[in-house]
Chains A and B, each alone.
Chain A
Amino acid sequence: MCPECDASVAVHSNVERGEVVQCRECGAELEVIALAPARFVLAPPEEEDWGE
């Protein structure tokens, strides 16, 4: 479930813990924190020193 809007979030079968997916209902970026069953938290916002 999306922690922002409670919608059900579908993920690919090869999703990994730590991957970021988007809720199709509200658009929130969600980080996958557990698999089988998948659980999500809101992904942390981009920080100033993030990059390549």
Chain B
Amino acid sequence: MRVGLLCSRVRVEEKLLGEALSRCGALVDRIDDRDVVLDLGRPWRDWDVVLERSLSQTRAIAALRVLDAWGVASVNTLTVTALCNDKLATTAALQAAGIAVPRTAVAFTPESALLAAEQIGYPLVMKPITGSWGRLLARINDRDAAEALFEHKASLGSPEQSIFYLQEHCDKPSRDIRAFSIDGETICAIYRYSDHWITNTARGASTRECPVTDELDALCRAAAAAVGAGVLAVDLLEDAGRLLVSEVNATMEFRNSIDVTGVDIPARVAAFVVAAARDSRVAVEA
């Protein structure tokens, strides 16, 4: 069985995944997305499945689009990754599935964004619809800040920055929750603690194990189903007794979560990837 590991850099996660896949008996080929040429008329047939781990979400979607058209199995799938890499698409899918999410509004001009902000109320949070690691998040405490931020964002020029994605600010207890979901199963979860309102490990948050309660499990299973299930990290906020799903990540990082949970996350991912490869072989042979 051959697995293509599509990535940019080799981070700790990619090394652990490669090792775990090898332990499952898979032959792993690293595919550097900077070197890739996807000649649309010449489908890849070297790999039973491609594990997509690109740093660039734009490249990931482009590559998955081609793989999907070729009928090459991937983890995650194009559908799941496209939904998760776009915060607006994720929130819309979660909301449509009846899952509790922070109140969210979208506007397309600084003026309408200001109206949306007044409707949601201050403080509120503005996020880019793509990107990660807590980058370009802004907590907007009042109308003065909103006016300034919206004007600055509008002047950035990129069409994507003309989408104002605004959410209610949740008064979380100096932590949020990240749950790991594989094929719909919630395998473990962590608390991410920080004194800063952005509780992201890429921004220095510390981690502790979070028990997977029935409530958390049910919410994560529903969130995974809403985006299509696969290898996912579901981020949740605790707010006044509510649990809200804030994001679902399709190319999750997990290096800080293995020791604190005692769960061999790369082994679980590898098992899912190997199963996807087997399914793909069966489909081809049929």
Interface of A toward B, CB cutoff 8 Å: 14, 16-20, 31, 43, 46-52
Contacts and interface: CB of A to CB of B under 8 A. Distances in A.
A47 B130 CA distance: 11
Contact of A18 (B10, B233, B249, B250): B10
Given A16-B15, A18-B30, A50 B57 contact: yes
Contact of A49 (B11, B56, B233): B56
B22 interface: no
15 contacts: A16-B10, A18-B32, A20-B9, A47-B56, A49-B131, A50-B55, A50-B57, A50-B131, A51-B55, A51-B57, A51-B133, A51-B249, A52-B133, A52-B249, A52-B250
Contacts of A52: 132-133, 233, 249-253
A19 B9 contact: yes
Contacts of B9: 18-20, 31, 43
Interface residues of B, number: 26
B135 A51 contact: yes
A26 B247 CA distance: 36
B205 to A, nearest CB: 14
A18 B135 contact: no
Contact of B58 (A18, A19, A49): A49
Interface in B229-286: 233, 249-253
B80 interface: no
B7 interface: yes
Interface in B126-144: 128, 130-133, 135-136
